[in-house]
A and B are shown apart, each in its own frame.
Chain A
């Protein structure tokens, strides 16, 4: 998993807590889906979380594109040895 493990853990476990809170809120009546104000807040919450998850995913992907310096050194060494 490498750099993706923290991402999967944080958004996986945190996402479960987040989702469970929303479901429990709707069932308790604290979140009234018939009320526009509650729907807007709910939408903003979910969209915000997805936005952060997306930005973090793109960020990890971009950072992963260049291998660690130690790996680069190993690749260079291997190429040198072959030559």
Chain B
């Protein structure tokens, strides 16, 4: 977006409305945050569709619209590949990593390494993640600053500071709950705007058949060519994106992990993930690449000049097909993609800052104390991001450096994490050796690309094997890790309970309770006290096949709240003084679940081993 797109008053009103809405939504949801569990994991009570929709906004990153439109314009439908190739590592996430983290109540990637190995491994991982996340916060703020400069003419730092202030206000208030709420809104916005531009572009060309006919032959394929050109090829996409980046994104990215840990159960988290991969990612791929495809067809049909700048194709197509007001909506969508990534990153920095740095140094404080620290860390992270902007402003190559940093650390982090989860024999020393040596080899390969040649699948070395370096890193890190496991003696016994051989077992299923769930609505009777148990009439317990000690999920019956007002509770002794359509809960349980006693609730028997 630039001023050259000639925004009119209607566009500015739409953008202003977007900012007001994001701030209002984020701040209002702040009232649902009263503990660190709320701040980091939104109370672990949300339904799958909330997580899935909010995840889209986070997955569509800062440069997505511009970058994927450019790739779509130059190479065609293969621009979708990074959004549609996440299948291959999904079994490890859905059946291994996610239930392990969820059931063991592990809050961060470094904490997992501490539990599985020792504090030294945790320290190394904490350091790497903090450098990466904080650098990424600064890059996102600078990108927002550049957009604000382009549209409103204000200095980059002021634009970035304004955005940091907006996200800082609602993050300070609501943490993950506010992130979820704003990201659902922003996800819908960016999908609608991206798809809208694509459809308008197709209409401009003359319809779907004309659009298809106008595309060059090689643009029509869903995959890039096997190993050419050196900038974009299928084999590189597979190893760099499908295997390494997907693993890094879902397993190592603290922000994304926290999103899934906000689910009310592992079952809901799995549903969210499957919906994201099957439905939302392909839709998002069309939203971010569509302008590029439409732009190519428009060039072929003479609607856009042949010498149009590929890097600017998103702006060119938007300027061509969008009327007053819609351009403002598209600009808001671009900012939404940035803001949603930014708030996720800042929450992740706060989580690691509190759980992996502050809490281990100063343990035993109250939850309110850690909540206050988390809020302060979120603000500090935003301020630090702004203060780093001048550094990034003067050295554009730092963008590249940060990208190189991620591609350098991803394989040597991914391999030890996968082995820690899958292989009980893998130990702490082997993990540290694999990480450190793996990174050294990756840095060496950056400077001596010839090292990658045996893994290059015939790719031209002129681009320095930027994609094939991932395969090199995966193979070398794996070899080092396996060799070190056998050759270096373990310093201490590792906790093999944190492997996927020891995922806690669920309780037996109750068919009748599951059948009744969505049909029975109960009144809530609130009694003073902090009793965590839920009480029911004996006949109701019999009808629902519930027993004392069972865990149930108590949720406001209004489905569209997505679990915002809900709580897990243990079934207590039956009470025949209660009406059959009533549940009794303590004030504390109602407060914890943000339940409104005047609204009815539904009950669901929880099979999963969730602590209350």
Interface, chain A (partner B; CB < 8 A) = 3, 5-7, 9-10, 13-15, 17-18, 21-22, 24-25, 28-32, 35-38, 41, 44-45, 48-49, 51-52, 56, 59-60, 62-63, 66-69
Contact = CB atoms under 8 A, between A and B. Distances in A.
Contacts of B85: 10, 14
Given A28-B500, A28-B501, A69-B216, A10 B234 contact: yes
Nearest to A60: B221
Contacts of A29: 500-501, 503
Majority secondary structure, A binding face: helix
B274 A44 contact: yes
Contacts of A18: 87-88, 90-91
A6 B239 CA distance: 12
Given A10-B234, A18-B87, A24-B422, A59 B221 contact: yes
Contacts, number: 105
Contacts of A9: 226, 234-235, 238
B218 A25 contact: no
Interface centre among A15, A52, A62, A66 (most CB of B within 10 A): A52
Contacts of A6: 223-226, 234-235
Contacts of B225: 6
Contacts of B95: 25, 30-31, 38, 41
Given A18-B87, A51-B278, A68-B217, A25 B96 contact: yes
A35 B274 CA distance: 18
A42 B463 CA distance: 39
Nearest to B278: A48
23 contacts: A6-B223, A6-B225, A6-B226, A6-B234, A10-B223, A10-B234, A13-B238, A14-B87, A17-B243, A21-B92, A25-B92, A25-B96, A28-B500, A29-B500, A29-B501, A29-B503, A35-B506, A37-B267, A41-B94, A45-B90, A56-B222, A63-B222, A66-B217
Contacts of A15: 88
A17 B85 CA distance: 13
Contacts of A25: 91-92, 95-96, 500
Contacts of B501: 28-30
Nearest to B90: A45
B467 to A, nearest CB: 13
B405 to A, nearest CB: 26
Contacts of B88: 14-15, 17-18
B30 to A, nearest CB: 34
Interface centre among A10, A30, A51 (most CB of B within 10 A): A30
Contacts of A28: 422, 499-501
Contacts of B499: 28
A32 to B, nearest CB: 8
A75 B469 CA distance: 41
Majority secondary structure, B binding face: helix
Contacts of A7: 223
Contact of B89 (A21, A36, A66): A21
B243 A41 contact: no
Nearest to B500: A30
B607 interface: yes
Given A28-B500, A37-B607, A14 B242 contact: yes
A49 B87 contact: yes
A53 B511 CA distance: 35
B44 interface: no
B234 A68 contact: no
B84 interface: yes
A6 B422 CA distance: 29
Interface in B189-235: 216-218, 220-226, 234-235
Interface centre among B95, B217, B267, B501 (most CB of A within 10 A): B95
B265 to A, nearest CB: 10
A30 B223 contact: no
Contact of B221 (A3, A24, A45, A67): A3
A3 B278 contact: no
B277 interface: yes
B274 A41 contact: yes
A10 B225 CA distance: 12
A19 to B, nearest CB: 9
Nearest to B235: A9
A25 to B, nearest CB: 5
Interface centre among A45, A56, A67 (most CB of B within 10 A): A45
A32 B607 CA distance: 14
Contacts of B84: 52
Contacts of B277: 48
A68 to B, nearest CB: 4
A52 B281 CA distance: 12
Given A45-B91, A56-B223, A30 B267 contact: no
Interface string B63-95: 000000000000001000000110111111011
A3 B226 CA distance: 8
A67 B220 CA distance: 11
Contacts of B509: 35-36
Given A30-B503, A48-B87, A60 B222 contact: yes
Interface centre among B94, B99, B234, B501 (most CB of A within 10 A): B94
Contacts of B99: 30
A44 B278 CA distance: 10
Nearest to A68: B217
Contacts of B568: none
Contacts of A10: 85, 223, 234, 238, 242
Contact of B217 (A36, A56, A67): A67
